[in-house]
Structure 1
Amino acid sequence: MRLKSELPPELKYQAVVTEAAAREAGLDFFDVVFEVLDASDVNGVAAYGGFPVRYPSWRFGMEYERLEKGREWGLSKIYELVINNDPTYAYLVRSNSLLEQKLVMAHVYGHADFFRHNVWFAPTNRKMLDTMGEHAVRIRRYIDLLGQETVEEFLDIVLSLDTLVDPYLPLREHSHPAETRSVHTSASERARRALDALSLSTVPEEPPPEPSLGSRADLPTYDVLGFLSEFAPLDGWQRDILEIVRAEAYYFAPQRMTKIMNEGWASFWHSRLLTGGILDDSEILDFADCHSGATSCPPGQLNPYKIGLELYRYAEATGEDLFQLRRVHNDVSLTHKLVDESFAERVLRPILAPAGQGQEEEPDWRELKAATLRNISWGGLPQIELQAVDLEGEGELTLVHHHDGRDLKVGAAQATLLQIERIWKRPVRLRTTLDERDSWILVRDGAGSVVDIQGSDEAGGASDENLRNTA
């Protein structure tokens, strides 16, 4: 284990003791490096997604302000922060009590084991801390060459689209590398593009030739960012920034897909390790209070710590191999496998359909399971697919929202399409269901509208009575 020299002796000792207990219990992880920071500094690292070497963006500053206000007003508190890397880096809050530090360390070792062995993390970059630093150098270089306003404006557009990726693509490519297109541009191609872009001292007067779309046989795709990085009419530096954001989006995607499993695994093991001999008898009650606070679950809120912990406890009670479950599943597949009537009635009903809420009819346990799966599928995000490009006309992009019973927020959807249009520089449309009516959300020349599909022509035209909303 590698420890920073400035870690206080008492915490060094606790780290050694906790690591030994974790490994004896069967956990396996990369070296863990602990850093102790003030609470405000931990919020700063968290605002950058756990990577203090990341490129500058006002979005990170806004997130820092949100976290700081939550801390100052007593609304929220970050106990720990751990990142998927080799070695694994974890940040401890200096003001935590010794009991809290013990809990956090045990929790971190659970996360570290999950990062290393869960199959959804297998394709991720294990040297992401170094890569984030490289990304920051490249973007700061563009800022020096082109100006902060120019670069940050484009970076902000791309960051607003960073969820438009296919979370299943990296694992498919990792399992069958010869059959699918790579998520990441090759190292040599990335280096060539970066060198070409960095060699510019001014913005070129003539845009580069647009890549040929050809027949686009690989459509449809959920990897909207990948499509734009290949075929949008962009300058070299813009394409490089888009690829940077896309690579980082794919690094973070497994964390959304396994939030319940990951937090549940860490909570399961911090409870098991601490009550198995790490805590003194005098600390048990305080631990129970701290643990129950982290795993509390108010009605209507799916706390991943609570749900994940209960899933692993239920799996253990029913004779499942916990380490195999941890290895092969994501949140959706584990929930689908383990949630039966007993689990749904005991755990899900008090959260999703508590007594005394005035329901006309109590939902069946299968409905509770379906509602849970709906909330966590696709990492909790809308499922958006790029289906077609109008090669014969204006080059309009057609996207489809796979509706799961929950309507999109029209304003947010239009704002997203407007950002896609700014990159694609041609019209964009999205098919979805709004108020139980098939609809188009259209964006053209910076203006958005919503059109009922019924009554509109095949190309998406509409009469005035079909036009329901214009931004």
Structure 2
Amino acid sequence: MNSKDELRVLEDALQVINAKAKELGLDFYDMFFEICPADIIYTFGAYGMPTRFSHWTFGKAYHKMKTQYDYNLGRIYEMVINSNPCYAFLLEGNSIIQNKLVMAHVLAHCDFFKNNAYFKNTSRNMVESMASAAERFREYEFEFGRAKVESFIDAALSIQEHIEPRLMIKRGENLRKKRQKEKERTCHAERIETPYDDLWELEEARKDTSKDSEKVKKFPIEPEKDLMLFIIQHSKELEDWQRDIMSVIRQEMHYFWPQMETKIMNEGWATYWHLRIMRDIHLDETETIEFAKMHSGIIQTSRTRINPYTLGLKIFEDVEKRWDNPTPEERERYGRSGGEGKQKIFEIRANENDISFLRNYLTKELIEEMDLYLYKKVGNEWKVDEKDWEKVRDGLVSSMTNGGYPYITVQDGDYNKNGELYLKHHYEGTELDVYYIEKTIPYLHSLWGHTIHLETVLDNKSVLFSFNGEKSSKKFI
């Protein structure tokens, strides 16, 4: 079969798969597929998007993934972009049945992007935004020198995960509160005028001035989680082009964050539906065997890491079964009438993220069936540390809190009344990597321009790491 014939077969298959997905209840944006050679799709995989600013870390990621592909140690079958319309890139060299499975998988991903609450506020035109940003970065390289721009990007990327993903939601809530207060003031202003109104206005002005003076004493007024935004807004060290670069990196992290916090759900959802779609469409004997081999490879488990495809699939199937056929106790206790499995998994898809997904639906039976456990390094060996199902579940949930990154807040932006930056790591049982701390603090100093302090916990003792631009120090506090 030549390439034109294969494309015709794939186009026909896509129509069948698309119709079957809609028949089963999936709701997705218009889809566009493109077949790409390995070097292109692995470039997309390294950058996370088809177009993005250039940086050596992306080249490092590309080299690693492409080497795994070349030595048949790993393979990217597709890449899908969260956009409207939705774009997916298929690996050149995939067999027809592999591309059929991938297309079914991708349609479910698109359904998840469109309908999950955590993607509600993500931009759907990031491909264009990233392309525009990449062009500006190239102009900065031409104007200020490539080495200077790349060095600054190094510093910005070192803290890119320290954002507040819900900031836009919080701002919306604050705006509504502000409007309500303005409305109340307007209603108050409609009261009957008296000769003493100017005195009341003076008193209100005095109170506002007093409040402002109190606010100045503490900066920020409350601890702030969005370290990126805090530096963008308050650093006196940054030039406009540097603020632009940091703003772009922060915006891109906001785009990728929902994918990080729904990885298990998203992959489980896509696996659940590619399995059902492929079972419902016509496959010949050869295709059936190849599909079974590919699917088993996707859900293959490991002793040392969680397979999100398998765990997500198992939970969705278990929820569907339990809501379709509740036990007498579940019928009485939860009011489940039965036959509600599909409705329930669509409800979960719309409202949950990985943390609530695991917390609410990862059961003792599933943990025992999948033989999940927690492990840690004891001496020079890795050993199983915990098998109790609730502790295993809670350990998995804990590892995904804040996207799996340390929770660090800005405590004081004028520490010692000298413009120093004081950060606090909110310790929850997992220590920071000291080597990473000592490498990252100098980057922070270059962004802030004054001494950096980071409070954390080591060996159950509070420790303060500091860097003044020349040397690092560490002391117990």
TM normalised by structure 1 equals 0.82
Q: Does 1:368 align with 2:392?
A: yes
Confirm or deny: 8 A CA contact 2:319 2:345 kept in the other structure: yes
Deviation at 1:337, TM superposition (A): 0.8
Deviation at 1:377, TM superposition (A): 1.7
Secondary structure at the residue paired with 2:160?
coil
| Aligned equivalent of 1:286, options 284, 290, 295 | 290
- Residue in 1 aligned with 2:401? 377
Q: Does 1:443 align with 2:441?
A: no
- Residue in 1 aligned with 2:356? 333
Per-residue CA distance 1:17-56 (angstroms, 9 max, x = gap):
21111111111111111110011211011111122x2122
User: 2 CA distance for matches of 1:326 and 1:441?
Assistant: 42
- Residue in 1 aligned with 2:426? 402
Confirm or deny: 8 A CA contact 1:82 1:88 kept in the other structure: yes
- Residue in 2 aligned with 1:413? 437
User: 1 CA distance for matches of 2:385 and 2:453?
Assistant: 39
Letter in 2 for 1:323: F
Q: Does 1:452 align with 2:456?
A: no
Confirm or deny: 8 A CA contact 1:120 1:171 kept in the other structure: no
User: 2 CA distance for matches of 1:372 and 1:302?
Assistant: 9
Counting only pairs closer than 5 Å after superposition, residues 55-454 of structure 1 correspond to structure 2 as: 55-173=53-171, 178=176, 215-233=218-236, 234-319=238-323, 320=341, 321-347=344-370, 349-350=371-372, 352=374, 363-390=387-414, 392-453=416-477
Cα 1:213–1:283 shift into 2, 3 Å:
farther
Q: How many residues in Structure 1 have an aligned counterpart in Structure 2? A: 414
Deviation at 1:217, TM superposition (A): 4.7
Deviation at 1:219, TM superposition (A): 3.0
Counting only pairs closer than 5 Å after superposition, residues 29-40 of structure 1 correspond to structure 2 as: 29-40=28-39
Deviation at 1:414, TM superposition (A): 2.0
Deviation at 1:215, TM superposition (A): 4.5
User: 2 CA distance for matches of 1:431 and 1:258?
Assistant: 30
Residue identity (%): 33
Confirm or deny: 8 A CA contact 1:39 1:94 kept in the other structure: yes
Per-residue CA distance 1:280-321 (angstroms, 9 max, x = gap):
343223222211211112123111111111111111111151
Secondary structure at the residue paired with 2:149?
helix
- Residue in 2 aligned with 1:15? 14
Confirm or deny: 8 A CA contact 2:269 2:316 kept in the other structure: yes
- Residue in 2 aligned with 1:196? none
User: 2 CA distance for matches of 1:96 and 1:361?
Assistant: 41
Confirm or deny: 8 A CA contact 1:298 1:351 kept in the other structure: no
User: 2 CA distance for matches of 1:176 and 1:84?
Assistant: 28
Moved more, 276-285 or 326-335: 276-285
Secondary structure at the residue paired with 2:281?
helix
Max radius of gyration: which structure?
2
Confirm or deny: 8 A CA contact 1:301 1:351 kept in the other structure: no
Per-residue CA distance 1:218-265 (angstroms, 9 max, x = gap):
531211001011011211111111111111111111111111111111
Confirm or deny: 8 A CA contact 2:219 2:414 kept in the other structure: no
Cα 1:278–1:167 shift into 2, 3 Å:
farther
Bigger RCO (CA 8 Å, 6+ sep): 2
Confirm or deny: 8 A CA contact 1:213 1:231 kept in the other structure: no
Cα 1:172–1:99 shift into 2, 3 Å:
farther
Confirm or deny: 8 A CA contact 2:53 2:133 kept in the other structure: yes
Confirm or deny: 8 A CA contact 1:119 1:328 kept in the other structure: yes
Confirm or deny: 8 A CA contact 2:374 2:386 kept in the other structure: no
Deviation at 1:167, TM superposition (A): 2.8
Confirm or deny: 8 A CA contact 2:53 2:137 kept in the other structure: yes
Deviation at 1:278, TM superposition (A): 4.6
Deviation at 1:168, TM superposition (A): 3.3
Deviation at 1:328, TM superposition (A): 0.8
Secondary structure at the residue paired with 2:40?
helix
Deviation at 1:216, TM superposition (A): 3.5
- Residue in 2 aligned with 1:198? none
Confirm or deny: 8 A CA contact 1:85 1:128 kept in the other structure: yes
Letter in 2 for 1:131: S
CA RMSD of aligned residues (A): 2.5
User: 2 CA distance for matches of 1:392 and 1:449?
Assistant: 17
Cα 1:405–1:126 shift into 2, 3 Å:
same
Letter in 2 for 1:279: L
Deviation at 1:359, TM superposition (A): 7.3
User: 2 CA distance for matches of 1:367 and 1:67?
Assistant: 34
Cα 1:371–1:360 shift into 2, 3 Å:
closer
User: 2 CA distance for matches of 1:125 and 1:61?
Assistant: 26
Secondary structure at the residue paired with 1:91?
strand
Moved more, 5-14 or 107-116: 5-14
Confirm or deny: 8 A CA contact 1:299 1:351 kept in the other structure: no
User: 2 CA distance for matches of 1:358 and 1:399?
Assistant: 32
TM normalised by structure 2 equals 0.81
Cα 1:150–1:290 shift into 2, 3 Å:
same
Confirm or deny: 8 A CA contact 1:106 1:269 kept in the other structure: yes
